[in-house]
Amino acid sequence: MPAAAHRAPSARSRRLLEEIDDWCAGRWWHVRIPVLAFLAYVWIRHAQDPRYQSVFKGLNLGIHELGHYVLGPFGDIPGVLGGSLLQCLVPLVAAAMFVRQRDWFAVCFAFGWLGTNLFEVATYAGDAVAMSLPLVTPGGGHPIHDWNYLLGNYGWLRHTDAVAAWHRVAGHGSLAISLAGGSWIVVRMMAAAQREHRATARRARLAAAAGDPSRRETAEGPPAGDPSSRLRSFRNPTSRSGRIAGP
């Protein structure tokens, strides 16, 4: 039973690897390298500056504000938490959708997008005590600092730094998964392109040999009944096994 349990994951892993290789075949790896470079740049900037805002900021903020409206009907706590929660859930939903579509590079990109959201939530949570960040509220009125309200409601304001640090660690992990997975996918694409190049070159050689009798004779041997074949056999009576052929 344990042996069968070990074989099953191995078989699933092989099938998944074959599926990824099939997906990589014929796809352009060149256009995906700048995407990885951009995600690496975003990661470095987030690591250097907690208040760095990437090009994802506008999209993330829009989803954040939408989360308040989506979860607001379920109460004050879900409504306040809904902003940060939804902006982190949407990239995960996108990753699940890309898995169903078998777009493996897009899955990795979705984890990079998630990482930017986690870094933004970390900055927001870390500001729960100081409340120095500029706030927006689409509906008008006095804006509420989500994390000051959440942590203060449960008496956890003293844990502000720990909550922010946890989100930053999660952001680093998400972007690491994104870049490692995306780089691996690109390497598989490059390997698939090399295999296709070799196969194309081989087909070209076979086609050239089929059109040139002299090349075809070299590749396939002399035609049956060719006197030169018997003459060459007489001059070189060594068989394929390396023994001297008998009379």
Q: Tens of pLDDT along the chain (247 residues)?
A: 455 555 556 888 889 888 998 898 888 899 999 999 999 999 999 999 999 999 999 999 999 999 999 999 999 999 999 999 999 999 999 999 999 999 999 999 999 999 999 999 999 999 999 999 988 877 667 888 999 999 999 999 999 999 999 999 999 999 999 999 999 999 999 998 888 778 888 888 888 887 665 555 544 455 555 554 444 444 444 444 444 333 3
Is residue 62 situated within a structural domain? yes
Task: Return d(Cα 2, Cα 14) in angstroms, integer.
Answer: 19
Does residue 20 form part of some domain?
no
79 belongs to a structural domain: yes
Nearest CA to 146 out of 79, 241, 217, 213 is that of 79
Distance CA 38, CA 46 (A): 12
Inter-residue contact 89 to 103 (CB < 8 Å): no
Asked if 32 and 181 count as a contact pair (C-beta separation under 8 A), the reply is no
60 found inside a domain: yes
* CA 147 – CA 142 distance, rounded (Å): 15
In a domain? residue 105: yes
Q: State the number of CA atoms in the 13 A half-sphere of 153 facing the CB.
A: 12
**Is 176 inside a domain boundary?**
yes
Residue type, 20: I
Structure tokens at 177: 């998964």
Looking at the 3D structure of the chain, how many domains does it have? Answer: 1
The CA-atom distances, in angstroms, between 135 and each of 72, 131, 163, 171, 182 are 18, 9, 20, 22, 34
Q: Is residue 116 included in any domain, yes or no? A: yes
Residue span of the structural domain in which 140 resides: 30-201
CA distance 122 to 31: 31
In a domain, 229, yes or no: no
